[in-house]
Chain A
Amino acid sequence: MKRIRRWGPGLLLVSPSIVLIAVFVYGLIGWNIKVSLSDWRQAQPSSGYAGLRAYRDLFHDAVWSLDLRHILIFTVVFIVGTLFVGWTLAFLLDKGVKGEGFFRAIYLFPMAVSFIASGIVWRWLMNPAPGDRETGLNAVFDHAGLHFLVNQWYLGQNWGMAAMAMPAVWALSGYIMALFLAGFRGVPEELREAARMDGASEYRVYRHVVFPHLRPVTLSALIILGHISIKVFDLIVAVGGKQLITQVPAVYMWIQIYDAQDYAKGAAIATLLLIGISVLIIPYLIFTVRSERNA
C-alpha cells in the first residue's frame, strides 16, 4: 500500500503518454510490419499472409538499389558537410568574435526555414540551364570567370545527390554549430589553463583537452543528422520533384502507396527505413543509458 502510494501518482501521471505511445507508435509500427508481410497489393485492403514477398521484390528492384545509392551519397555528403561547417563555425566563434550573438542568430536562422521553402530557393540557385538561360549559382560562377565550376547540380548523372545535400547542409550546420559551441563552452576554463601552465601549445590544448570533451556532442550530432537524412522527403520533392534521378527511399514509399497502390511494398520500405534509423539510434540509447548509470 505504502509502495503504491509512492509510485502510484507518478505512474498515473505518465500513464496517458504510455498508452498513447503504445498505441500510436508501437501499435502502428506493428501494424505497418503486418501490412508489409501481407498480400495487400491493390487499392482494396487485404490481410492474406505473403511472407517476405515485398522485401524480396525490393531487393530485385533496380529502382530500389538506385534509391539506396542516392540516400547513401546524400547521407555521407550531408553529415560530413554539416559536421565540418558546424564545427568550423563553432571553433571560430569559440576563439572569440565581436558580436557573437549576432553571428549565432544568423547561422541558426536557416533551420527555421522549412525544407520545402528552402528547397524551392535552392532549386533556383542550382538551376542547371545552360547558355543564356543560366541563373543562380551557375550564373555567379560564369560572371566570376569560374566557368569550370558550372555544372548540372542535382541533375548530374552520378553525383547529383551530392548537390542535393547542399541545401540540407546549409539548413542544419547552424544547429550543429550551436551544439558544438555548447560543447566547447562545456570544457572548464581551468582545464585549459592548467594545460597552458604545463606549457602546452594552443594546438595541443585543443587536441588533448578540448576535443576529447566533444565526443558526446559529436555522437548526438551524428544521430540527429543521420535520422534526418534517412527520412528525407520534403527537400527532395521541393528540389527534384517526383523523378527517378533524385529519388530516395521515402519518396519511393510514397509512390508505392499512393501511385502504385502496392501497400505491402510501401510498408516494407517504411519498415526498412525504421530499421535503418534504429541501427543509428539503438547504439546511441545504449551508450546514453550506460554513461548515465556510470555517472
Chain B
Amino acid sequence: MSKIIPGSRTRLALVAVLALVLVLPAAASARTKSSTGSAASCQLSVFSWWTGGGEAAGLTKLIAIWNKQNPTCPFKNETVAGGAGSNAKAVLAQRLAAHKPPDSFQGHAGKELQDYIKAGQVEPIDFIYTQYGFDKIMPKQLISQITYQGHLYSVPVNIHRANVLWYNPAVLKKAGIASVPKTWAQFTAALDKAKAAGVIPLALGEQWTQKHLFETVLISTLGVSGWNQLWTKEGDWNSAGVKTAIDRFNTLLAKYTNSDAGSLTWQDAGKLVADGKAAFNIMGDWQDGYFSGSTAGGNLALKPGTAYNWAAVPGSDGVYDWLSDSFTLPKGAPHRDAAIKWLAFLGSEKAQDTFNPVKGSIPARQDAKTSLYGPYLKWALQQWKTDKLAGSLTHGVVASNAWNAAIDSALGLFIQGHNTASFQKALVAAHDKNAS
C-alpha cells in the first residue's frame, strides 16, 4: 500500500473532489432513471426459484404467452436459484422487510405462507377465485386446506405428490419380489428380500429427504384423518400411532437404507434405483421428471413402466400427500392490476396445461386435458380426482416455517442418537409450541 506523503494534502483534496464529481452525477442519474422507469412503462416483476430443469422451461412458456397477451406490461423474471427456494426465501424476506415487494411471488401453498399473511405482507384474493370460478374447478379439500381464517391468499399453479414409492422392476424381479408391496408388512418383507439379494433395499438421501420419508411413514401409519388432525391445536403427537410410525421409521433407517445417505442429494438417491443398485426409493413425483426427462436437461431419459415404475407408498393408497407452488398478491405491489391479471392467468386451464406437462406436475384444476401428460402424470391425474388429500409437512403445507424448523432439529438429533422416546417428546413439544 502506498503511504500518503506529507505535503501532498492539496493533491489529496483534489482527488477527493474529483471522486465526488464522478460519483454524484452517477447517483443522481441512477435515481432519475429508476423513478421514470417505473412510471413510464409497466413491467410485471415476478419472484420465484424456478431457475432450472422443467420448472424453468415451464415458466419460459408461461412468459411467452403472457408477453403475447400483454404487450404493454411485459414480464420481468426475478428468480433466485436454490432448491425448494431456501435461498430465494431469504432474499424475499429482505425485500419485503424493505417494503420493496415484487408484483407477485412464489410460495408453497399452505401454512408456509402464514408468516407473510400474519405480517400483513400479502392480500387476500378470494375475489379472483369467485370471479374466475377457481373455487368450483379446484378440489374442495384443496381449497379448504389452503384457506387461512376464511380467506385465500394464493393461486396454486401445480400439484406435486410426495408419497410415491419408486422402484426398479428388474431389481424386484431379481430379488424375487413378486408384487409391489401394498401394506407395511408386505413392504418390510420386500425390503428383506432386496437386502438378501445384495442391493440397497431403500435408497435415501440427505436430511430433508429423511424428513420426507418420515412424513410418508406417518401418513401410512395414521391414515389421512389422523395425519390432518396432527396439525390442529388438538393434535396428539403422544399417541401410540405416532410411536408406531417412529418405530417403523427407525427400522427403515437402521436396517434398510444406505450408510452414506447424508452425502446424497435426492437425485443421487433416485439414481441408485435407476442404476439397479437399490430396489426402492420414496420421493416426490419430481423424481419422474428426473427419470424420464431428456439427458440434455441433466435427466436420465428412462422409459417409464419398464426402467422404473411407481406406486403409492405402502399403506397410503388412496391418499394424495400433496404440495403446490402458488403465487401471491403482495401488499403494495407496484403494478397491482397487472398482478391480479397474472394470478387469474395462472389459474386458467391454458396456463396450467401449458406449465404442468413441462414441469412434471399436475394442474390444481380438475379439467386438465389428460392427453397432454406422460404416463406417470396420467396416473397422478386419475388419483387426484378420487384420493383424499393430506398436505405435505416437508413442503410447507401443514406447518409454519417455525414448526418445520423445530421438527428439523428434532429429526436431526434423532438421526444421530436413534432415541425414539426423546424424538417423540421433541415432536410433542414442537406441536405445543407452534400449533394454532
Binding site for B on A (CB under 8 A): 9, 13, 41-45, 61-63, 66, 123, 127-130, 132-133, 152, 154-155, 157, 240-245, 247, 254-256, 258-262
- Among A44, A240, A260, A262, the most chain B Cβ lie within 10 Å of the Cβ of A260
Contact in complex: B412, A130 (CB < 8 Å): no
* Nearest neighbor of B120 in chain A, beta-carbon distance: A44
Interface size on B, residues (CB 8 A): 34
Is residue B26 contacting chain A, with contact meaning CB distance below 8 A? no
Give CA–CA (A170, B119) in the complex, Å. 45
Contact in complex: A260, B402 (CB < 8 Å): yes
Given contacts A42-B402, A247-B412, A258-B93, contact A242 B86 (CB under 8 A): yes
B115, B258, B416: which contacts A245 (Cβ < 8 A)? B416
Give CA–CA (A43, B402) in the complex, Å. 10
Ordered by A's residue number, 13 sampled pairs between the chains whose C-beta atoms are within 8 Å are A43-B119, A44-B118, A45-B97, A128-B259, A129-B263, A157-B416, A241-B207, A242-B86, A244-B408, A245-B415, A245-B416, A254-B90, A259-B405
* Nearest neighbor of B422 in chain A, beta-carbon distance: A62
Number of A-B contacts (CB under 8 A): 96
A63, A133, A240, A243: which contacts B277 (Cβ < 8 A)? A133
Contact in complex: B207, A242 (CB < 8 Å): yes
Instruction: List chain A residues, Cβ under 8 A from B412.
Output: 63, 243-245, 247
Instruction: List chain A residues, Cβ under 8 A from B93.
Output: 43, 258, 261
Instruction: List chain A residues, Cβ under 8 A from B409.
Output: 61-63, 244
Give CA–CA (A152, B259) in the complex, Å. 9
Instruction: List chain B residues, Cβ under 8 A from A261.
Output: 93, 115, 401-402
Binding site for A on B (CB under 8 A): 9, 12, 86, 89-90, 93, 97, 115-116, 118-121, 206-208, 258-260, 262-263, 277, 401-402, 404-406, 408-409, 411-413, 415-416
Instruction: List chain B residues, Cβ under 8 A from A130.
Output: 258-260
Instruction: List chain B residues, Cβ under 8 A from A42.
Output: 115, 118-119, 402
Instruction: List chain A residues, Cβ under 8 A from B406.
Output: 260
Instruction: List chain B residues, Cβ under 8 A from A152.
Output: 259-260
Contact in complex: B207, A243 (CB < 8 Å): yes
Contact in complex: A244, B207 (CB < 8 Å): yes
Contact in complex: B413, A262 (CB < 8 Å): no
* Nearest neighbor of B96 in chain A, beta-carbon distance: A43
Given contacts A43-B93, A259-B408, contact A128 B402 (CB under 8 A): no
Give CA–CA (A157, B418) in the complex, Å. 12
Instruction: List chain A residues, Cβ under 8 A from B208.
Output: 242
Instruction: List chain A residues, Cβ under 8 A from B86.
Output: 242, 258-259
Instruction: List chain A residues, Cβ under 8 A from B206.
Output: 241, 243
Give CA–CA (A241, B266) in the complex, Å. 13
* Nearest neighbor of B94 in chain A, beta-carbon distance: A258
Give CA–CA (A54, B86) in the complex, Å. 24
* Nearest neighbor of A44 in chain B, beta-carbon distance: B119
Contact in complex: B408, A155 (CB < 8 Å): no
Give CA–CA (A112, B383) in the complex, Å. 53
- Nearest-neighbour CB distance to chain B for A60, whole angstroms, equals 11
In the A-B complex, list the 4 residue pairs whose CB atoms are closest, starting with the nearest.
A244-B412, A260-B405, A43-B115, A44-B119
Please name 10 further chain A to chain B contacts, defined as beta carbons within 8 Å, in addition to the given A63-B409, A63-B413, sorted by A numbering: A13-B12, A42-B119, A43-B116, A66-B413, A127-B260, A127-B263, A243-B207, A245-B415, A258-B93, A260-B406
Contact in complex: B263, A244 (CB < 8 Å): no
Instruction: List chain B residues, Cβ under 8 A from A44.
Output: 118-120
- Nearest-neighbour CB distance to chain A for B209, whole angstroms, equals 11
Contact in complex: A9, B89 (CB < 8 Å): no
Give CA–CA (A190, B116) in the complex, Å. 71
